[in-house]
């Protein structure tokens, strides 16, 4: 049986939005949005910019999956990061929901932007998660320390990001590296919104998902990361 939607004290619920759902997927990808707080427990709007920005990411992943990936976007319970109920809690609910729909043996990839990247890294220790992509993740230096053993993790961060500190992401990546397979791609000229050089952000997320979940051949930076390169700049 699937889990009940995650619910905050004021009754706002997280929601799964299907992008592409084949009858018998080989794996699933959960796409997590960012977005700062706009007041106490304000609900997430499907048309807020941080949510809309993840639509092309989800579409790119679905296209790359060639009918083998179930791709969903998660709408969080509330905007921002409420310590009582965080986006990581919403992501864990969504993972339980996917296990209820497809069975607990289906491998899952998490792809998150900004605070969604933080949520992906913090929820990525769930048993079904095989890989995590953190796009311009908003992090504290001690986030995710000691987690994600055995997972494959990709950080993609814009060199001109003025919202999420790239130094914090580098620190977290280094702390994860002893136990997880971690790659870090620094996008020259990239900003937090991932609009400049957007094909790199979207494309690397899609390539990493299909390579780690489906074993599909890829080239470029993701092939280099999977081949053992830890730090790249494009």
Residue 35's CB: how many other CB atoms inside 10 A? Answer: 24
Contact status, residue 103 vs residue 82, Cβ threshold 8 Å = no
Contact 213, 29 (CB under 8 A): yes
Q: What is the pLDDT of residues 184-222, one digit of tens each?
A: 999 999 999 998 889 899 999 999 999 999 999 999 999
The DSSP code sequence of the chain is -PPPPPB-TT--B-EEEEEE--SS-SEEEEEE------STTPPPPTTSHHHHTHHHHHHHHHHHHTTSEEEEEEEPSSSS-BTTB-HHHHHHHHHHHHHHHH-TTS-EEEEEETHHHHHHHHHTTSTTEEEEEEES----TTTTTT--TT-EEEEEEETT-SSS-HHHHHHHHHHHTTTSEEEEEEETT--TT--TTHHHHHHHHHHHHHHHHH-----HHHHHHHTT--EEE-
The model's pLDDT over 102-129, given as tens digits with 9 standing for 90+, comes to 988 999 999 999 999 999 999 999 999 9
| CA–CA distance, 196 with 193 (Å, rounded to integer) | 8
| Band (82; pLDDT cuts 50, 70, 90) | confident
226, pLDDT greater than 70: yes
Residue in this structure with the two tokens 């004290």, named with its chain if needed? 9
Above 50 in pLDDT, residue 1? Answer: no
**Mean of pLDDT values over 82-86:** 79
Rounded to whole angstroms, the Cα distance separating 72 from 76 reads: 13
Query: Who wins on pLDDT, 78 or 205?
Result: 205
Delineate the domains of the chain, giving CATH numbers in brackets. 15-233 (3.40.50.1820)
pLDDT of 231 higher than 90? yes
pLDDT digits (tens, 9 = 90+) for 134-167: 999 999 998 865 579 999 999 999 999 999 999 9
Distance separating alpha carbons of residues 1 and 225, to the nearest angstrom: 37
Instruction: Report how far residue 216's alpha carbon sits from residue 66's, in angstroms, rounded to the nearest whole number.
Output: 10
Mean pLDDT of 6-28: 81
Q: How confident is the model at residue 56 (pLDDT cuts 50, 70, 90)?
A: very high
Which among 183, 192, 197 has a CA at the least distance from the CA of 155?
183
Q: How confident is the model at residue 80 (pLDDT cuts 50, 70, 90)?
A: confident
Average pLDDT over residues 36-60: 78
Q: What percent of the chain has pLDDT over 90?
A: 75
Residue 29 has pLDDT above 70, yes or no: yes
pLDDT of res. 113: 96
pLDDT at 3: 46
Task: Please list, in sequence order, all residues whose beta carbon lies within 8 angstroms of the beta carbon of residue 78, skipping any fewer than 6 positions away.
Answer: 8, 12, 37, 41, 42, 43, 44, 85
Per-residue model confidence (pLDDT) at position 81? 80
pLDDT confidence bin for 4, thresholds 50/70/90: very low
Q: What is the dihedral of CA 54, 49, 124, 129, to 10 degrees?
A: -20
Count of CA atoms in the C-beta half-sphere (13 A) of 22: 14
- Whole-angstrom Cα distance, residue 129 to residue 148? 9
pTM of the predicted protein model:
0.91
pLDDT of residue 140: 93
């Amino acid at each position: 049986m699937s889990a009940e939607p995650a619910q905050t004290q004021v009754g706002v619920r997280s929601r799964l939005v299907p992008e592409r759902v084949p009858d018998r997927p080989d794996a699933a990808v959960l796409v997590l949005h960012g977005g700062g707080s706009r007041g106490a427990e304000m609900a997430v709007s499907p048309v807020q910019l941080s949510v809309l920005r993840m639509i092309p990411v989800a579409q790119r992943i679905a296209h790359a999956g060639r009918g083998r990936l179930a791709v969903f976007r998660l709408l969080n319970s509330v905007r921002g990061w409420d310590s009582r109920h965080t986006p990581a809690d919403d992501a864990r609910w969504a993972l339980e929901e996917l296990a209820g729909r497809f069975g607990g043996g289906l491998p899952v990839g998490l792809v998150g932007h900004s605070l969604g990247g933080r949520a992906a890294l913090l929820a990525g220790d769930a048993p079904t998660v095989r890989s995590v992509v953190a796009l311009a993740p908003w992090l504290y230096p001690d986030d995710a320390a000691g987690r994600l053993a055995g997972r494959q993790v990709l950080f993609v961060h814009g060199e001109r990001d003025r919202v999420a500190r790239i130094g914090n992401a580098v620190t977290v990546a280094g702390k994860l590296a002893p136990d997880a397979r971690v790659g870090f791609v620094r996008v020259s000229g990239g900003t937090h919104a991932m609009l400049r050089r957007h094909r790199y952000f979207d494309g690397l997320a899609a390539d990493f998902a299909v390579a780690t979940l489906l074993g599909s051949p890829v080239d470029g930076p993701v092939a280099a990361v999977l081949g053992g390169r830890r730090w790249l700049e494009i």
